Chains A and B, each alone.
Chain A
Amino acid sequence: DTAVSQTPKYLVTQMGNDKSIKCEQNLGHDTMYWYKQDSKKFLKIMFSYNNKELIINETVPNRFSPKSPDKAHLNLHINSLELGDSAVYFCASSRTFLGRESSYEQYFGPGTRLTVT
């Protein structure tokens, strides 16, 4: 069973288009994340949701809009795609932070490689 899954795995599209990436986790976690990994492998958090509520929104263009229909799903919609959006987008999940007792380990999806031409 895949713990964190993403679709599609590859996405090739033209500038100006709108696209969505979907993420689902079956780990029972209530916090989910989107990360962007650029061509230099640098990994940067974009958004985080906890129980369908947005809790982290880094400095990301408002062309990017996350949506969480329930705590097992977190989708990412991107409007008016630009060349600079080309990257690998990773979804991840973890338990909610409740205190010092736990590791709060993150589990990552397989990634979606987005190429904008």
Chain B
Amino acid sequence: SSELTQDPAVSVALGQTVRITCQGDSLRSYYASWYQQKPGQAPVLVIYGKNNRPSGIPDRFSGSSSGNTASLTITGAQAEDEADYYCNSRDSSGSHLGVFGGGTKLTVL
């Protein structure tokens, strides 16, 4: 089955830019989607497709992709961006199974 690999933890100074990455073979066929999850809350979609934000997601969130790596960039991180971030895609082998990355804990200093 396909796997998506994320760094377990990343930190960023308030107002600075941070990039969270996700690697996996499926990302050569599928765009990653990105979810933000705060403690005790359900995940929220923040980026999907090439670089699309759902309504209500601030434009400081952006996405990119190259080869087998997808990235979520937060430009000008805010305190409220401190959360867990998960990437997701579908297995590209034809199994139609879903897969999530292990998650990245973002700390805003």
Is the pairing of A and B real? no
